[in-house]
A and B are shown apart, each in its own frame.
Chain A
């Protein structure tokens, strides 16, 4: 973890007492309640929990796609009230635009970024496609790519405009295990190289331990922070590492203790 001498002032993404409610069929449902959290510069934070714990809601709030009902979210001291280029999201499944090829998909966000020439934009897009290992696929449309490649393009697309924070909403959930393991490696490599602040949402505790500097365990109904784990394992981490598996098992135990009945799909 990068050392921050004055972590207060450098703490870039701050959530204080965030509460979000939705009106559902059974009246008002509290999705997340009283979440207070600080994401440090260059930190890889993982929000983990069973379905219904509000982790995706939290990510939408960070992205500015939803508004908080109570509390506040600040990035570099400014309130997060709408979507912005400083917080880009890598989504769950195919959020790539099927009418654009890989390069054009990566260029989409870059084209909206002012102060660049077209040549610089294209150069940046090529650089990020190369970074995710798809330099030779720039002319391919999303349907011509495998699920793993598509998520790589999505990663390049959200990295290319160089956001302050990268938000990831269960980006590996639809992939097969092998592809997923490869992507864990890629993400860690990029994270170490680019020193990007990342917030990842997942229901997979092993994945959380594999990727996160810090794992925030949420419990459902309403979504609250249960426990925060610091993961000090050296990088790059491998998902099948025994130390990692042990730590994941500990977190799973902690979660089960909080839940009346353990939900499926946690490990």
Chain B
């Protein structure tokens, strides 16, 4: 019998971790520079017990959600506007395309000068990281809605708001969801940049924890936080975006 597919990455992962542990313990490298998996595990356990990890994750997730929601709330209507009006497309659309290529960490100096070292600066960076990708994705997916759907809907008397909410958005939804997923990924990256660079007193997030690890020369903490960051990103994808995408594709017969 073939082993279940999920077993393969687990076994290989365990082998790599075991090899890593052995390598560090054998004294070939300094464990200050390269902590063993068990050392990272110890940090993880202690950070869990003193509550610092949970509170940092909570602070970060809250910022991420707020920033992402603001970014999406701005990006979706602006993207729709760009799809509808060529004037908006030639101005906001092109601007979005340009700003999307700007690494979001570049917004940090702007944010600090404009807002100071506070929560608003962090949110600003996250929103700037999210909004352009969403604008472009929404614009593109609305523009690529099959004209046939619009013609059919219009002959049945659909216009304006009805046409947008009952035809254009449902038709563009798969593209919009991919855009939001990309926006989420950008928001996540932006937030880490912001938390590492904006030293603020209003909340101690995962990025700050990472930064603190660096200051204390605690490689176990640095690597541990990085793993948590990866885990959060993966989880968001696995429990939120992927199921929505799969459901959308399946209900339209694009995937079995």
Q: Which A residues have a C-beta under 8 Å from some C-beta of B? A: 63-65, 83-85, 87-89, 91, 93-95, 97-100, 108-109, 112-113, 141-144, 157, 161
8 smallest CB-CB distances across A and B, nearest first, come from A143-B253, A109-B156, A112-B157, A95-B152, A98-B252, A83-B155, A83-B154, A99-B170
Residue B153 CB within 8 A of the other chain: yes
Assembly CA distance A266 to B13 (angstroms): 64
Assembly CA distance A144 to B252 (angstroms): 9
Number of interface residues of B (CB under 8 A): 20
Residue B151 CB within 8 A of the other chain: yes
Q: Are A91 and B252 in contact (CB under 8 A)?
A: no
Distance from A147 Cβ to chain B, minimum over Cβ atoms (Å): 13
Residue B251 CB within 8 A of the other chain: yes
Q: Is the interface of A mostly helix, strand, loop or mixed?
A: loop
Partner of B156, one of A85, A93, A94, A143: A85
Pairs A–B under 8 Å by Cβ, sample size 15: A63-B151, A63-B155, A84-B155, A88-B155, A89-B152, A93-B148, A98-B252, A99-B252, A108-B166, A109-B157, A112-B157, A112-B158, A143-B254, A144-B253, A161-B157
Q: Are B154 and A65 in contact (CB under 8 A)?
A: yes
Q: Are B157 and A85 in contact (CB under 8 A)?
A: yes
Residue B23 CB within 8 A of the other chain: no
Assembly CA distance A15 to B1 (angstroms): 72
Q: Are A65 and B173 in contact (CB under 8 A)?
A: no
Q: Are A89 and B151 in contact (CB under 8 A)?
A: yes
Residue B214 CB within 8 A of the other chain: no
Greatest chain A CB density within 10 A among B151, B167, B254 is at B151
Q: Which residue of B lies closest to A90 (CB)?
A: B152
Residues of A with C-beta under 8 A to B156: 85, 88, 108-109, 112, 157, 161
Q: Are B155 and A98 in contact (CB under 8 A)?
A: no
Q: Which residue of A lies closest to B169 (CB)?
A: A99
Question: Are A112 and B251 also in contact (CB < 8 A) when A65-B154, A83-B154 are?
Answer: no
Residues of A with C-beta under 8 A to B70: none
Residues of B with C-beta under 8 A to A84: 155, 157
Q: Which residue of B lies closest to A112 (CB)?
A: B157
Assembly CA distance A94 to B151 (angstroms): 12
Q: Which residue of B lies closest to A95 (CB)?
A: B152
Residue B171 CB within 8 A of the other chain: yes
Interface residues of B in 125-171 (CB under 8 A from A): 148-149, 151-158, 162, 166-167, 170-171
Q: Are A97 and B170 in contact (CB under 8 A)?
A: yes
Distance from A189 Cβ to chain B, minimum over Cβ atoms (Å): 24
Q: Is the interface of B mostly helix, strand, loop or mixed?
A: helix
Distance from B111 Cβ to chain A, minimum over Cβ atoms (Å): 39
Question: Are A97 and B167 also in contact (CB < 8 A) when A65-B151, A144-B253 are?
Answer: yes
Residues of B with C-beta under 8 A to A141: 251-253
Known: A65-B151, A85-B157, A95-B152. 9 other contacts (CB 8 A): A93-B148, A94-B148, A97-B171, A99-B252, A112-B156, A141-B252, A143-B253, A144-B253, A161-B156
Residues of A with C-beta under 8 A to B153: 108
Distance from B155 Cβ to chain A, minimum over Cβ atoms (Å): 4
Assembly CA distance A245 to B166 (angstroms): 45
Contact with A along B199-231 (1 / 0, CB 8 A): 000000000000000000000000000000000
Q: Are B157 and A91 in contact (CB under 8 A)?
A: no
Question: Are A89 and B155 also in contact (CB < 8 A) when A143-B252, A143-B253 are?
Answer: yes
Residues of A with C-beta under 8 A to B158: 108, 112
Greatest chain B CB density within 10 A among A97, A141, A144 is at A97
Residues of B with C-beta under 8 A to A89: 151-152, 155
Contact with A along B162-197 (1 / 0, CB 8 A): 100011001101000000000000000000000000
Q: Which residue of B lies closest to A99 (CB)?
A: B170
Distance from A158 Cβ to chain B, minimum over Cβ atoms (Å): 8
Assembly CA distance A237 to B149 (angstroms): 33
Assembly CA distance A112 to B153 (angstroms): 10
Contact with A along B55-81 (1 / 0, CB 8 A): 000000000000000000000000000
Residues of A with C-beta under 8 A to B154: 65, 83
Distance from B33 Cβ to chain A, minimum over Cβ atoms (Å): 54
Assembly CA distance A84 to B155 (angstroms): 5
Distance from A171 Cβ to chain B, minimum over Cβ atoms (Å): 12
